Amino acid sequence: MRRITFLILLFAATLSFGQKNNDQKKTVSILFIGNSLTYYNNLPELVKQTAREYNVRVKYEMVAKPNYAIVDHWAEGKVQKLITKKKFDYVILQQGPSSQYEGRQMLIESGKDYKQLCDKTNTKLCYYMVWPSRTYYHTYDGVIKNHRDAAKLNDAILLPVGEVWKAYFDRTDNFQYYGPDGFHPSLLGSKVAARVITEKLVNELKKSN
C-alpha cells in the first residue's frame, strides 16, 4: 500500500514538473507593424523581456517606418508576405493616434484586409492603442474610441496601452510616460506599454489552453 501511495505521489510530482516545464518552454511569435511609436525604445524587445516573467518566450519581427500608417505597409506588400510565409501567432498593428475620421477609416478598413489575411493563416490580429501628443491631448477620447471600435468591428484583440496611459495621467497629473517631444514615449512609457501588451497576450494564451 505504501509503495502504491509513493508511486502515485511520484507520478503527480512528475506531471506537475512537466506542466511547469511546458509553461517555461511556451513560445509565441509576433509580427509588429507600425511606425516610430513601435520602434522607439525597441518596444518589441521590451515585450520579449517582460514576457520572460511569465515563462513565455517571444520571437518577433518588426516592420516599422517613420510616419507610416497600416495602409502604407499594406501598399508595400512586405507584411503580407511575412504573415503568409512565417505564420505568426500574433500580428500587432499600430499607427498614429487616429482620432480623426481619416485615421479611423484606416484603422477599420485597412484593418479588415489584415484580418482576412490573418484568418487564413490562423493568426490573431491585435490593435496596439497608442495616444495623442500632449498638444492634442483633447483628442484622447477619440483615440480610445476609434481603436476600440476598430478592434470590435474586425474581431481583433485590443491592446489598450493608450487607455492605461490616460488613466495614469488623470489619476496623478504626471506625464512622465511622454518623452521630451511630448509625443514619443519615454523609456518608462515604453516599458508600461510592453507590460500592457504582454499581460494581454498572456491572458489570451491562457484562454487558448
d(Cα 129, Cα 105) in Å, to the nearest integer? 15
Would the CA dihedral through 75, 118, 48, 184 be positive or negative? Answer: positive
User: What pLDDT is recorded for position 78?
Assistant: 97
Please name which of 125, 56, 57 lies closest in space to residue 88, comparing C-alpha atoms: 125
C-alpha cell at 101: 475620421
User: What pLDDT is recorded for position 13?
Assistant: 37
Phi, psi of 136, rounded to the nearest 5 degrees: -110, 35
- DSSP secondary structure code for residue 154 in this structure: T
C-alpha cell at 10: 511520484
User: What pLDDT is recorded for position 25?
Assistant: 63
d(Cα 60, Cα 51) in Å, to the nearest integer? 12
User: What pLDDT is recorded for position 21?
Assistant: 41
Q: In what order do the strands lie in the sheet with 124-128?
A: 56-64, 26-34, 90-93, 124-128, 157-159
Mean pLDDT by 10 residues, the chain (209 residues): 36 37 72 98 98 97 97 97 95 97 97 97 97 98 98 98 98 98 98 98 88
User: What pLDDT is recorded for position 209?
Assistant: 72
User: What pLDDT is recorded for position 18?
Assistant: 39
Amino acid identity for residue 137 in this structure: Y
User: What pLDDT is recorded for position 16?
Assistant: 37
Amino acid identity for residue 52 in this structure: R
Task: List domains and CATH numbers for the chain.
Answer: 27-208 (3.40.50.1110)
Compute the chain's Rg from CA coordinates: 20
User: What pLDDT is recorded for position 185?
Assistant: 98
